[in-house]
Structure 1
Amino acid sequence: MSETPNTDPLARVREIALLLPGAEERESHGQATFFVGGKQFAQLRDDHHDDGLRVVCVRTSGTDEQAMLIEAAPDTYRKPAYLGASGWVSIDLSGNADWTLIEDRVARSWELSAPAGLLEAGGR
Structure 2
Amino acid sequence: MAHPLMFDDADPVLARVRDLALALPDAAEKVSHGRPAFFTVKVFAYYGGSVKVDGEYQQHESSVMVLLDDDERAALLDDGRCYVPAYLGPAGWLGVDLDAGTDWAEIAELLDASYRRTAGPRRVARLDAATR
Alignment TM-score > 0.5, same fold: yes
Structure 1 residue 54 displacement after superposition: 1.4
String of CA shifts for 1:25-78, please: whole Å, max 9, x gaps.
011111100111x1110000177855254100001013x53233112x1x2211
Structure 1 residue 86 displacement after superposition: 0.8
Q: Distance in 1 between matches of 2:105 and 2:124?
A: 22
Structure 1 unaligned regions, length at least 5 = 1-6
> Could you say which structure has the higher strand fraction?
2
SS of 2:95's partner is strand
Please say which structure displays the higher CA radius of gyration: 2
Q: 1:8 aligned to 9, 12, 35, which one?
A: 12
Q: Do 2:63 and 2:96's aligned partners in 1 also have CA atoms closer than 8 Å?
A: yes
TM-score (norm: length of structure 1): 0.80
Q: Distance in 1 between matches of 2:88 and 2:49?
A: 15
- 4+ residue runs of structure 1 moved beyond 6 angstroms? none
TM-score (norm: length of structure 2): 0.76
Is 1:68 the counterpart of 2:75 in the alignment? Answer: yes
Amino acid at match of 1:58: V
Q: 1:112 to 1:47 in 2, by over 3 A?
A: closer
